[in-house]
Amino acid sequence: MGRWNHRAVRRVQMEGDCKCVEYAIHEAFYDQDKPGDRPSITLEPVAAYGDTIEELRETLQRMLRALDHPVLDYETHEEINE
C-alpha cells in the first residue's frame, strides 16, 4: 500500500496561438515499493469536501500545505521549479 497527499499541479495547454497555464490541487499517490519515483496524480483537480465542517477544514488545510511543496507538472508528474 502506498501513501497520498494533495499537490499543486501545473497544466500547460495550447489553445490556438495561446499557451494557457493553470494550477490546481490534485491528489498524488506514491508507491511505497518505489521510493523516489514520480507519483501518480488524479486526472482532474479535486474539490474541497468533508462530511462535517471540521473534515472540510482539515481538507482545506491539507490543500494549503500542498503549496509548501514543489509544483508537479501535469504531463510528466515531475517536480518543477516555480
> How much is the pTM?
0.87
Give tens-digit pLDDT for 53-68. Answer: 999 999 999 999 999 9
Give tens-digit pLDDT for 13-53. Answer: 988 898 999 999 999 999 877 766 789 999 999 999 999 99
Q: What is the pLDDT of residue 1?
A: 60
Cα separation values, 65 from 15, 31, 61, 68, 70, Å: 31, 21, 6, 5, 11
Q: What is the pLDDT of residue 2?
A: 75
C-alpha cell at 13: 495547454
C-alpha cell at 20: 494557457
Q: What is the pLDDT of residue 31?
A: 84
Q: Kindly state the average pLDDT of the residues 64-82.
A: 94
C-alpha cell at 55: 473534515
The b-or-e profile of 19-34 (16+ CB within 10 A means b, else e) is: eeeeeebbbbebeeee
The distance of Cα 51 from the centroid of its chain, to the nearest Å, equals: 22
